[in-house]
Amino acid sequence: MSNNEAESILRLEGVSRHYVQGDQEVSALEDVSFAAARGEFIAVAGPSGSGKTTLLNVCAGLDRPTSGRVWLGNRDLSELNRHQLARLRLEEVGFIFQAFNLIPVLSAEENAEFILLLRGVPDGERREKVGALLKEVGLEGMEHRRPGQLSGGQQQRVAVARAIAAEPKLVLADEPTANLDTDTAFSLLNLMERLNREHGTTFLFSTHDPRVMQRAHRIIHLLDGRIESDQRAAVRQM
């Protein structure tokens, strides 16, 4: 194992994911290999159907590769059962989705503290942390609103607060800005970037928006399930 591999928070080796649709086998990912180091801010770019969502799902253990291996930290996901994978996600991975995906019956505050609740963080500590986070994402005063009472941008901020509240090592975001207006999208990107910078959280997010790609420190281009390019950019100064 090289030093880079040892330091990587996420590593994929020869990952392929094939689906069977009717009589045909469809390849969503084909021989994908890369590693993400701690604190990286990586965009996975590519057109619709290029395999971005499948890649993120495979990275989180939500989907199993047909072949190849995925390591999260030093744990080989292929060796974990569904229960262990869920525990691993709870402990180490934060998720932000294109479709916001908040739990509709919980308030903004309850959604944001959801992971902490499952981890058994004491009430006081949890409330304090979530209160500060909601303030940080600009949702102060909206703590008790249900997702249905929040705008798309506000819901996505709650999702970000939920994803980072438990200080995961890795945040996976599937087209987090796709359903947001430009201002809200950039404000969200600023927030993600700040969290990356200040907390050292590794971000791996998919996008096909060139404006979002510009903000990434590294861009992995996917085309038809294969890595077309893996480029590093100069870190943008805020």
Partner 1 sequence: MNSLKIIMMIAWRNLWRNRRRTILTAGTVSLGLGLLLLFLGIGDGSHRQMIQGAVGMGSAHVAVQARGYQVRGGIELTLSASQVAQVSSWLQSRREELGVTHVLRRVFAPGLASSADGATGIRLIGLEPDPEKAASAFDEKLVQGKFLTSAEEYGAVIGEGVARKLELEPGEKFVVMAQEAGSAEIQSLLLRVAGIMRTGLEDFDQATILVPLPTAQRLLRLGDNVHQVALMLNQLDDSEEIARLGEEQLPPETETLSWLELMPELRDFIKIDDGASYVFNALFFLIIAFLVANTLLMSVLERRREFALLDALGFTPTRRFLLVILEASWIAVLSVAVGTVLGYAGHLYFYHKGLPLDIFYSSEVSAGGAVLDPILYSYLSWRRIAGAAIMVFALTFLLALLPAWRGAKGQDAHLLGQL
Pick one of 50, 174, 203, 222: the residue that binds partner 1 (CB under 8 A): 174
Nearer to partner 1, 120 or 210 (CB): 120
The beta strand positions in 65-134, using DSSP E, are 67-72, 75-76, 93-96
Pick one of 16, 66, 179, 184: the residue that binds partner 1 (CB under 8 A): 179
* Token pair in block for residue 108: 């903004």
Residue 228 CB coordination number (10 Å): 12
Which of the residues 35 through 74 are near partner 1 (CB under 8 A)? 53, 57, 60, 62-63
Query: Burial level of 158, CB count in 10 A (0-12/13-18/19+)?
Result: buried
Q: What share of the chain is helix, strand, coil (3-state, %, to 5)?
A: 40, 30, 35
Pick one of 1, 23, 24, 83: the residue that binds partner 1 (CB under 8 A): 83
Nearer to partner 1, 179 or 217 (CB): 179
* Token pair in block for residue 60: 């989180």
Question: Under a CB-based contact definition with an 8 Å cutoff, are residues 40 and 203 in contact?
Answer: yes
Pick one of 82, 135, 199, 211: the residue that binds partner 1 (CB under 8 A): 82
Nearer to partner 1, 78 or 229 (CB): 78
Residues that bind partner 1 (CB under 8 A): 53, 57, 60, 62-63, 82-83, 86-91, 93, 95, 97-99, 101, 103-106, 110, 114-115, 117-118, 120-121, 123, 162, 174-175, 179
